[in-house]
Structure 1
Amino acid sequence: MKSNKIVLLVIGVIVALGVSFAVGYFALGQGAKREVSFASSLPTTAPASSPAAATPAQAEASQLAQTTVTAEEMFSEFICPCCGKPIGECTCDMAAERRGFVSGLASAGKNQLEIYLAYADQYGLDTFASEEVKEEVREYKVAHAPAERPQIVLEPQKVDLGNVSTKEGKVETSLTITNVGQKDLVIDSLSTSCGCTTVSVVNDGQEGPVFGTGTPSEGWSTTIQPGDTAELRIYYDPTFHQDARGPMMREIYVSSNDPVDPVVKAAIELDQVD
């Protein structure tokens, strides 16, 4: 009898242990299921970042692209190199030619940004009246230019010739053209703001044709490889204005295949004396 009680006691203990184990296992399984269920509700990848906010220049360019203007409204945006006045106020041939260019763009339905860009390509950013607009257009052009491009640098951008005597005749000076870009720089046009000033390029020791106001450059070009330099040689003839006296300033324009600065300018200053 006593042995039977012992057997029953052992069986009871075994059953109790089995039930406890089963309950614990079930609870553990439910916890694991809850963890898996919660984990499956989380995103498997980070949410895509929102687009970067437009820069002020990009926002301004977008606004300009939606703005329609008349030619007359744009005349005040550009400076005539002959007299330093807006092209709408100057009566010289250079201003008239520029007004015609702007009028043609406006008549074709070009928006304000398109007119700015076309004018910059034709006459250079340095002819803009507003420095703020000039920088906005430059930023736009840089953002849309190839990563590898020719890039022109003209140094110095201004030379003071001091006193220039009409008796002593023609004087000359020179600037340095450097291609700081990664592609060949092709210079294909030179011009000046007045017939008293002419200009040429000396490349690889050879001086090219001499150009001035109204001198056609068609068919001529010279190439400066990346990292190389050339000389921009400038001539001023005081006898062109035989009776002129006092301070003068003349501009020189260099056109190239630089997509950001296709036209750059330099200037000479002088005081014409007897």
Structure 2
Amino acid sequence: MPAEIAALLPFALLLLAAGCVAGLIAGLLGVGGGVVVVPVLFHLFTHLGVDEAVRMKLAVGTSLAILVATAWSSASTHWKHGTVDGDFLKGWSPPIVAGVLAGAAIAAAARGPVLSLVFAAVALVVAAQMVFGPPGWRLGDRLPGGLGRWGIGGAIGALSAMMGIGGGTMTVPLMTMHGMPVRQAVGTAAATGFVIGVPGLLGFIAGGWGEPGLPPFSLGYVSLSGLVLVAPASVLMAPLGARLAHRMDTTMLRRLFAAFLAFTSARMVWQALG
């Protein structure tokens, strides 16, 4: 038993470190940190011999569970600073939640390399716009309503659920390109991550219920062991990231988010082609 514990210790430390980085990113950029957590969990599950058929789904579902805790911690800090747009949450939550539920259902059967490549291309375009585009460039003065809101919101929710992320990669550019200040966009995206995480978590629990090949201490496609190791560190670091976001220069924050998008794009391409 001591030898088994010693063998697992490096992976436990890796999960704790991933939780710290994920929480910092969540608070600083308004995202859920899934871009860090999902690949770490995937490689950990690979080493532990988890069935290949459920490995990625388990990583995504566990990331969404961690997102719930991280987004709540991050959004609370942003709320205290007054940078969460309540009107956005009221108007966009219904289509986003509908998309999340659809995405979680599709993820139970679908493979995601094509979606990952499409999302990687979109992320790279948005990153380039944030770095090289005119500072005042906008798609419009107001966010879309009606069918446009339902279409965009549903797509954001579905892609976020399938990839185990908080949606900030898409919602922050959406809001800034419609005139919302970047700090308010980041704060609102953090709260939106909680809106995405809760139904996504429930969907992956239901979708994986009774699935063969899951490791011990799994609740559907959610690893309780991974959740216990990553979530506390992530929650502790999220408020620090949120406070840093309010102290940083707006231009620097845009460039940092663009770098994050570029990294996300490269990781998704590598994962899809690998």
TM-score calculated relative to the size of structure 1: 0.25
Larger radius of gyration: 1
| RCO comparison, higher one (Cα < 8 Å, 6+) | 2
Considering fraction of residues, name the structure with more strand.
1
Considering fraction of residues, name the structure with more helix.
2
TM-score calculated relative to the size of structure 2: 0.25
